[in-house]
Structure 1
Amino acid sequence: MRRFTWLVNLTLALTLMVIALGAYTRLTDAGLGCPDWPGCYGRLTPPVKDVHIEAAQARFPDAQIDPFKARNEMMHRYIAGLLGLCVLAVFILAQRLRRARGLSAALLALVMFQAALGMWTVTMNLMPVVVVAHLFGGFALLSMLVLLRVELGRDPAGPADPVEPRLTRLLPLAWLGLAVLLAQIALGGWTSANYAAAVCYQLPFCEGGWHAQFSLRAAFSLPLGHETYEYGVLPYEARMSIHVLHRLGALVATAVLAGLVLLCMRRALSARLRGLAAAVGVLLVLQVTLGLINVVGQVPLFNAVAHNVTAACLLAALVLLVRQLHVQSGQALHARGRARPGAAYGVAVQGPMKLR
C-alpha cells in the first residue's frame, strides 16, 4: 500500500510538471516546434546538431527549424509519456489491491484520450478547440489524481468529522462555484489558444473604446478551415472580446468563490473543511494577483506559466472542497434519518406507559 501511495504521489508531481511544461511550450510558441508526432522531424530526439538539422530540413523543406522550440516540445512529450506509464502502473496496482479500481480505470481512459488530443494538437496545427480540450484534460487528470490520493489517505477507523446540518445549504453554492471556475478556465484556455492574452494592457478591462468593438459572436466564432492556427487567425475585434470576457469571468469567479470560502470558514466546525476552504482562498488570491501581473507586466513568461499551474491547483482544491461538503452533508442526512425512527419509537413506548 505504501508503494501504491508513493506511485500516486509521483504521478501527481508529474502531472503538475506536464501542465507547467504544456503552458511553457504554448507560451514560447513551441506547440509546432516538431511538425510530426510522436517524433520530431522523423527522430525520437529534437534536431540540435547541424547534421540533424540538415537532415530534418531535407525531410521537411518548408519547415522553419528552431532547435529551442523543438527541445521544448519534445521535453513536454517525454514527460507526458512518462506520466502515461505511471497512470498505467496506478491502474494495474489498483486492480491488484482492489482499491479505487473505478477511479484508476477512468484515469487510464483519460490519459489515453489526452495522448490523442496531444497528437491532434500537432496534426491539426494548434486548432483552438483542440488546444482548450487538451488543457481541460490535464486539469481533469490532476483533479482525479488528487481525489485518488485523498481516498488512499482516508482512515475509516479514524475520528469522524462533526455532523454539521447547516453545510447542506452550501452545496448549491459550491456546485455553482465549480461551474463558474470551469467556465473561467475555458475562457482562459480560449484566450491563450487564440493568442488574445496580449491584446489589452489597461485596467480594468481594455483600452478606451473597447465596448464599441465588443462582440459575443466574434468571441465565440470557431476559426475553422485554416492551414495553421499558430499565432492566431482571429481579427483584433474577436481577440479583444475574448480577452474582456476572460476578465469579466474573473470578476464573477472571484466573487462566487470568495463568498463560498467565507461561508465555509464561518459555518464549518471541521478542521478538514476549514483547511480546504482556506486553501481555496489562498489559491484564489494568488491567481488574481498573477492575473493582474500578467496585465501590468504584459504577460511575463514565468508568471503566465504560474497563472496556468495555479488555476489547475485551484480547481483541484475546489473539487476536494465540494467532495468534503458532500461527505459531511451525507453524514448530516444520515444522522437525521437515524434520529427520526428513534423519536417515533420513543413516542410509541411512552404511550402505553402512560396508560398503565
Structure 2
Amino acid sequence: MNRFAALVNVTLALTLMVIALGAYTRLTDAGLGCPDWPGCYGKLTAPLHDGHIAEAQTKFPDAQIEPHKAHNEMLHRYIAGLLGLCVLAIAIVSLWLKKFRLLSGIILLLVIVQAALGMWTVTLNLLPLVVLAHLLGGFALFTLLALLRVELAWKIKVMNTDSIGLDIKKYREPGLNSLLPLGYLTVLVLVLQIALGGWTSSNYAAAVCYQLPVCEAGWNDRFSLQSAFSLPLGHDTYEYGVLPYEARMSIHVLHRMGAVVTLLLLGSFAFLCWRRAVTKTIRVIAASIGGLLLLQLTLGLINIVAQLPLLNAVAHNLVAANLLMLTVVFVRQIYLRRIVREPLSEIKSVQKNHFVIDR
C-alpha cells in the first residue's frame, strides 16, 4: 500500500507538471509548434540543427518552423506520455491489489481520452472547443488522482489502526452536514468558472480588456452573450483566434463576472466550514481554500494590470487546478464525515459501501 501511495504521489506531481507545461505551451503560442502528432515533423524529436530544420521544411513546405516552439510542444508530449505510463501502472496495481479498481479504471479511461484530445488539438489546428476539453480533462485527472490519494491514505490509516471505534469521534463533523448542498453548488460554479477561463484562453480573449473593474469604456454597448458562446467553425486554423473583438470582449467580461460570483460563493463556503469545523484537518483545508482563492484573485488582477505576464498566467492555471482539486477533496471529506457513526460495525459498513473507489 505504501509503494502504491508513492506511485500515486509521483503521478500527481507529473499531472501538475503536464498542466503547467500545457499552459506554458498555449501561452507561448506553441500549440502548433509541431504540425503533426505524435511526432514532430515526422520524427520523435523536435528539429534542432540546421540540417534537421531543412529536412523538416522539405517534409512540410507550408509550415513556418520555429524550433523553440517545437521543443516546448514536444517536452509537453514527453511528460504527458510518462504520465500515461504511470496511470497505466496505477490501474494494473489496483487490479492486482483488488482495491480502488473503479476510480483507477476511470482515471485510465480519462488519460486515453486526453491523448485523443491532444491529437485533435493539433490535427484540428487549435479548435477552441477541443482545447477547452483538453484543459478540463487535465484538471479532472489531477482532481481524481488527488481523491485516490486521499482515500488511499484513509485506507492505510484504517489498516494500521487496531480499533477505529476508539478514535471515531475525531472524524465526526455534525456541524457541516447542512453545508453539503452548498458544497456541491460551489464545485459546480468553480468548474463553470474554470471552463470560462479555458474558453477565454482558447479564443485568445485574455488580452482584450486591460482596465478595471470590467473593461474599457463602452464595453456594455458591445457586450453580446450570444457571440461569447458562438462556435467558430470552418477555419483552416484557429491559432491567434478567429472571433471578432466584440465576441472576445464578451468572453473576457463573462470570465470576470464569473470570478466575482466564484469568489463570493467559494469564499463563503470555506468560511462557514472553517467556522463550524471541529477537527483540525477540516479547518486547515478550509483555510487553505481561502488562501488559494485570494492568491487566484491576486494573480488574475496581475494578469490584467501587467498585460498577461507569462509566468503569472501559468501560475493562474496551476492555482485554478489546485483550487478545484482541494475543493472537491474537501466536499468529499465532509460527505464521508457525515456518514460516520460511532459503532464499529457501521464504520466497516461505511468502508465497504461508501468508499466506492475501493471496489
Q: TM-score, normalised by structure 1?
A: 0.92
1:134 counterpart = 2:134: yes
Structure 1 residue 275: Cα displacement: 1.5
The runs of 5 or more residues in structure 2 that have no matched partner are 347-359
User: Which residue among 153, 158, 180 is the counterpart of 1:171?
Assistant: 180
Deviations 1:177-204 (A, max 9, x none): 1011000000000000000000000001
Deviations 1:27-63 (A, max 9, x none): 0000000000000000000011101100100010000
Aligned residue in 2 for 1:71: 71
Question: Are residues 214 and 120 of structure 1, via their aligned partners in 2, closer, same or farther at CA, if it must alter by over 3 Å?
Answer: same
1:187 counterpart = 2:196: yes
1:245 counterpart = 2:257: no
Q: Secondary structure at the match of 1:114?
A: helix
1:147 counterpart = 2:156: no
Aligned residue in 2 for 1:291: 300
Q: Secondary structure at the match of 2:74?
A: helix
Structure 1 residue 166: Cα displacement: 2.8
Moved more, 323-332 or 122-131: 323-332
Aligned residue in 1 for 2:42: 42
How many residue pairs align between the two structures?
Answer: 335
Structure 1 residue 2: Cα displacement: 2.1
Aligned residue in 1 for 2:226: 217
Q: Which protein has greater RCO, CA pairs closer than 8 Å, 6+ apart?
A: 2
Q: 1-side partners of 2:270 and 2:186: how far apart?
A: 10
User: Which residue among 300, 315, 319 is the counterpart of 1:310?
Assistant: 319
Structure 1 residue 5: Cα displacement: 1.1
Aligned residue in 2 for 1:352: none
Q: 1-side partners of 2:334 and 2:29: how far apart?
A: 41
Aligned residue in 1 for 2:353: none
Structure 2 letter corresponding to 1:62: D
Structure 2 letter corresponding to 1:214: F
Structure 2 letter corresponding to 1:141: L
Q: Summarize the alignment of residues 332-343 of structure 1 with structure 2, pairs less than 5 Å apart.
A: none
User: Which residue among 201, 210, 216 is the counterpart of 2:210?
Assistant: 201
Percentage identity across aligned positions? 64
Aligned residue in 2 for 1:342: none
Maintained 8 Å contact 2:173/2:334: no
**RMSD of aligned alpha carbons:** 1.2
Q: 2-side partners of 1:129 and 1:279: how far apart?
A: 32
Maintained 8 Å contact 1:195/1:232: yes
Q: 2-side partners of 1:201 and 1:109: how far apart?
A: 40
User: Which residue among 267, 279, 282 is the counterpart of 1:273?
Assistant: 282
Maintained 8 Å contact 2:205/2:249: yes
Q: 1-side partners of 2:31 and 2:179: how far apart?
A: 41
Q: 2-side partners of 1:327 and 1:104: how far apart?
A: 20
Q: Secondary structure at the match of 1:331?
A: coil
Structure 1 residue 162: Cα displacement: 4.4
Q: Summarize the alignment of residues 9-88 of structure 1 with structure 2, pairs less than 5 Å apart.
A: 9-88=9-88
Structure 2 letter corresponding to 1:305: V
Structure 2 letter corresponding to 1:239: R
Deviations 1:135-180 (A, max 9, x none): 0000000000101111111112353334333311101111111011
Q: 2-side partners of 1:269 and 1:165: how far apart?
A: 9
Q: 2-side partners of 1:269 and 1:166: how far apart?
A: 8
Q: Secondary structure at the match of 1:92?
A: helix
Q: 1-side partners of 2:221 and 2:134: how far apart?
A: 33
Q: Secondary structure at the match of 2:339?
A: helix
Aligned residue in 1 for 2:264: 255
Structure 1 residue 71: Cα displacement: 0.2
User: Which residue among 323, 332, 336 is the counterpart of 1:323?
Assistant: 332
Deviations 1:108-147 (A, max 9, x none): 0000000000000000000000000000000000000101
Deviations 1:2-36 (A, max 9, x none): 22111111000000000000000000000000000
Deviations 1:241-290 (A, max 9, x none): 00000000000000000100110011110212112111111111111110
Q: Secondary structure at the match of 1:253?
A: helix
* Displacement over 4 Å in runs of 4+: none
Q: 2-side partners of 1:208 and 1:331: how far apart?
A: 54
Maintained 8 Å contact 1:41/1:56: yes
* Bigger radius of gyration: 1
Aligned residue in 1 for 2:355: none
Q: Secondary structure at the match of 1:70?
A: helix
Q: Summarize the alignment of residues 114-125 of structure 1 with structure 2, pairs less than 5 Å apart.
A: 114-125=114-125
Maintained 8 Å contact 1:276/1:320: no
Q: 2-side partners of 1:136 and 1:200: how far apart?
A: 24
Aligned residue in 2 for 1:111: 111
Q: 2-side partners of 1:228 and 1:164: how far apart?
A: 53
Q: 2-side partners of 1:112 and 1:137: how far apart?
A: 10
Q: TM-score, normalised by structure 2?
A: 0.91
Maintained 8 Å contact 1:287/1:311: yes
Q: 2-side partners of 1:213 and 1:174: how far apart?
A: 35
Deviations 1:297-316 (A, max 9, x none): 10000000000010000000
Q: 2-side partners of 1:270 and 1:88: how far apart?
A: 36
Structure 1 letter corresponding to 2:258: G
Aligned residue in 2 for 1:345: none
1:7 counterpart = 2:35: no
Structure 1 residue 325: Cα displacement: 1.1
Q: Secondary structure at the match of 1:306?
A: helix
